[in-house]
Amino acid sequence: MLADPHTACARIDLAAYAGNLTRIADHVGPEVAVMAVVKADAYGHGMIECARVARAAGIPWVGVATVAEALTLREAGDQGPLFAWLYGPDEDLSPAVATGIDLAVHRVEQLSQVAAAAAICETTAAVQLKIDTGLSRNGATGEQWPALVEAALEAVELGALEVRGIWSHFAASDEPEHPATAAQLEVFEWALGYAADAGLAVPLRHIGNSAAALRLPQARYDLVRIGIAAYGIDPADGTLAADAGVELQPVMTLRAQLINVKPVPAGAAVSYGGTWTATESTVLGLVPLGYGDGVPRGAGNRGQVLVGGRLAPIRGRICMDQFVVDLGPDARDQVGDEVVLFGAAGAPTASDWARAGDTIGYEVVTRLPLRLTRIQVEPGEESR
Ligand SMILES: Cc1ncc(COP(=O)(O)O)c(C=O)c1O
């Protein structure tokens, strides 16, 4: 039987999160700071809890995408170094500046936006300039970089801003043979050199995410921004972390109880569209989770779950709230027995689900919706 009373839940092992961060910090060494990336509700694991645990583990920086996320952390009591890299042209940045949040600056106009907030707060705002090294998402292009550096220097001169960092983001650091990585590092070096020659000295230079931190020492600079690996999911959907000698423990376990178990005869068609038909009599189990709970619909007829110590295949399409597994003709499983989708020893991993559902491990954990019960297990609490 299930060890807790929830019909279905995502269990978050915060000690595993802290452990993964600590092992990654050890791997990159004491010269490189770690930023725990907790955007998108910590990839579905709980932003406030993960940030708190990261701080307690001695991780110096926390990073989020939006200013709203950063302010939520401040409201929850977080007071440490915090970096946010996404905001719109009409956002009032004064609450962020007033609470000491470092803001990314990608365009000259954003320097004015942050400086205006600094003026309202009668303080100096900390910014980190982004160079677009090849992802073509945010950040100044090489052509725009000189103007951004010059404008930043002027704002520094006026006392409005402090430039704490220069940073960028990789397009394909998880693909060892991808030529973009070396090209991006070259552009990053050029941008750093340009800024230094112009008289802009910055304490923080960073470009590396999980994959880069794990396998590219030359891309670590002063800080690495760690998201997916800290949640125990391999950045390359394989053995990148293991190859780097870093053990990652899954943080999230997604599990449920079987809510129906029944024998069906050969010829029984399963789930919408009858895309799977039993070739012999078997026993089917019903799992009360579906794509409305974030389970990848594409994993119908492809994914597996752990039940009774063995892997059981999913049969038919995954519905909004439930899916069916094949327990086999001799099954002795009962209603109420535990089914693990991912996260426990012997179960498929989030990456396995990603493969089965034609997506990535990042999406599998990040898209779990509000209706799914989430249980946070604090470090030191008994792990069930
Ligand atoms: C700007 C930025 N930095 C760092 C990260 C963390 O990346 P990862 O989860 O691959 O470690 C992300 C995630 O998408 C990001 O957008």
Binned at pLDDT 50, 70 and 90, residue 5 comes out as: low
CATH entry, 14-243, from 3.40.50.150, 3.40.50.720, 3.20.20.10, 1.10.275.10: 3.20.20.10
Q: Which residue's alpha carbon is at the smallest distance from atom 14 of ligand 1?
A: 227
SS3 state at 155: helix
**HSE-up of 143 (CA within 13 Å, CB side)?**
1
Task: Give domain 252-377's CATH architecture.
Answer: Beta Barrel (2.40)
The residue ranges of every structural domain in the chain are 14-243, 252-377
List, chain by chain if needed, residues with CB within 6 Å of any ligand 1 atom.
37, 85, 169, 209-210, 225-229, 235
Which residues on adjacent β-strands are paired with residue 284? 262, 326
How much is the pLDDT for 2? 43
87 an active-site residue?
no
Residue 127: exposed, middle, or buried by beta-carbon count in 10 A (0-12, 13-18, 19+)?
buried
Q: Which of 37, 137, 175, 216 to mutate to test the pocket of ligand 1 (most atoms within 8 A of CB)?
A: 37
Q: Which residue's alpha carbon is at the smallest distance from atom 2 of ligand 1?
A: 169
How much is the pLDDT for 239? 87
Q: Which of 209, 234, 237 to mutate to test the pocket of ligand 1 (most atoms within 8 A of CB)?
A: 209
Amino acid at 73: L
How much is the pLDDT for 6? 80
Structure confidence by residue, pLDDT tens digits, 283-305 = 999 999 999 999 999 999 999 99
Q: Same CATH topology for 14-243 and 252-377? A: no
Q: Which residue's alpha carbon is at the smallest distance from atom 1 of ligand 1?
A: 169
Residue of 43, 231, 262, 272 with catalytic role: 272
The residue among 254, 208, 215 whose CA lies nearest residue 231 is: 254
Write phi, then psi, for 143 (nearest 5 degrees).
-70, -35
Structure confidence by residue, pLDDT tens digits, 8-39 = 999 999 999 999 999 999 999 999 999 999 99
